[in-house]
A and B are shown apart, each in its own frame.
Chain A
Amino acid sequence: MRDAAVFRQVLLAQWRWARLALVVLAVVGFAIPLASVFYGADLAGAGRSRVGDWLVAADRVASVLPYFALLTGVLVGVMAWTPDIAGRHVYALTLPVSRAYFVTLRFVAGALLTLVPAGAFAVGAVIASVSVSLPPGVHAHPADVAARFWLATLTVYAIIFAISSASRRGQIAIISIIGGAVLVDLLLLTLSADFSITAEAFALLTNWPGPLAILTGRWALFDV
């Protein structure tokens, strides 16, 4: 009972802090799928070539989705901790709960808040899907794309949350590793070496089973 009351207050406080950003993200998330059908809503009797053009245009719009999921995850992850960072964590650390418990509360609250833009995106995707008359063989995938968007947002959120909640020493270590990798890459570049640490690391992260693989590939709301 007390846990529920505490969580409700943490969620409300986090919402209070992040609500402006969340509303803007929700509006954009709602609008993106609708922009997919901007190029025409009645394709039932359209010819092959027009349907092809339409799918290419819809795909182009959908290509912004991974970036939008990245932006949403980063923003919600950073905003989960900024009030505590500003207060040097004094309030959080003097509340009568263990650190692990408080971190869990913050994480779950932030994860739930990602549902705001993800939910708006899902609603927009459903409206976009039902508002267009598709020719035979072309299908809308609003639930799949919405679920993928939410999972991608959650993945990015979890990574950023983990970095934000790390100790200062941990954060310095992460920044040092990235900075060190960039420096080594510059050195390799001057030696004309055919190898890049950052490119390898990026490939490792974005190729399955890397955590950011979910951001890559096609994000088609409409497909054959």
Chain B
Amino acid sequence: MTTHAIETRDLCYRPGPGFEIRDLSIKVRQGAIYGFLGPNGAGKTTTIQLLLGLRRARSGSISILGLDAPRELPRILGSTGYVPERPHLYPYLSVAEAIRYHGAFYPGFDWSYAEQLRKAFDLREGAKLSRVSKGEMGKLMILLVLAQRPDLLVLDEPTDGLDPVVRRDVLSALLDFCSQGAATVFISSHLVHELERICDWVGVLDRGRLAAELPMNAFKNGIKRIRLGRAPSLVGDTPFVVISQERSALEQVWVVRGWQPTMVQWFDGVGAEVKEIVDLDLEDGFVELLRGARAPQEG
């Protein structure tokens, strides 16, 4: 029994000059709601496409639901619901036809749940997909993957461009579904606060590299900005992770993650003076993580 729904090891992919996914190792434990954060162009969609066999990695390995990708792709896709960044359904079908088409491919497709969701989402059966709104298309795509009753949901910016009402409907349906079983959700977004509500684990991707992978609690509560006087000049083993350091004549400002209140003793031990510890909100934490990840490369 595998403990990880998704596991990549040293994944490398280079679509062309200027961008590459390098040594990407992700671990998404089963049952987690994993937020895959990153700025636009970080490689989130490319990574998802690698996971689902839409692109072939140059090297590295991918295991999904304990199966080797892309070798066992049909079996993987049979247990995986995928909502791509852009609508992929056939626009000439109606809502009812799209549901029937999609459902036929999945033996475990839950027709009654699909109908229940269709009504809850207020989607007209006869509405042509070429004429539905962006919000309705987003709801239909979520409906289709939820009714598959998948073990793994891979959602690529599923609420991007949706209005707040539709966004709430979609996320509520997602949370309802997750509360019914042990499905793993891998959801990519650049909207930090959206993931805060639903995710219990976060991976941050930047420029094709994993900048951090940590529990949401540690992300929310464990990232601090610490103002120090008499800071140590050399940082040895710290009980937390130093993301960035800024020095001025009078003080230093450190951004750290994995912080716990008792760790203030470490500063006492190295003779530093802690002037202030500031809680960073999620967005600030995200920005600091990115800054920290970029610093050595730009260094």
Contacts and interface: CB of A to CB of B under 8 A. Distances in A.
Contact of A16 (B77, B86, B97, B104): B97
A208 interface: no
A90 B86 CA distance: 10
Sorting the interface of chain A by its residue count into under 10, 10 to 19, 20 to 34 or 35 or more gives 20 to 34
A90 B105 contact: no
Contact of A94 (B52, B75, B100): B52
B75 A8 contact: no
Interface stretch (A48-56, A69-77, A95-103, A192-200): A95-103
Interface in A31-60: none
A83 B104 contact: no
A12 B90 contact: no
A76 to B, nearest CB: 16
A195 to B, nearest CB: 42
Interface string B85-129: 010111111000100110011110000000000000000000000
Interface residues of B, number: 24
B31 interface: no
Contact of A96 (B54, B74, B88, B91): B74
A8 B52 CA distance: 26
B82 A9 contact: no
Contacts of B53: 93
Nearest to A92: B88
Nearest to B106: A96
B48 to A, nearest CB: 10
B229 interface: no
Contacts of B215: none
A130 interface: no
B105 A96 contact: yes
Contact of A17 (B74, B86, B92, B106): B92
B84 interface: yes
27 contacts: A2-B104, A5-B104, A9-B101, A9-B105, A10-B101, A12-B101, A13-B97, A13-B101, A16-B92, A17-B90, A83-B91, A83-B92, A87-B88, A87-B89, A87-B90, A90-B86, A91-B88, A91-B89, A93-B52, A93-B53, A93-B54, A94-B82, A94-B88, A96-B77, A96-B78, A96-B105, A97-B74
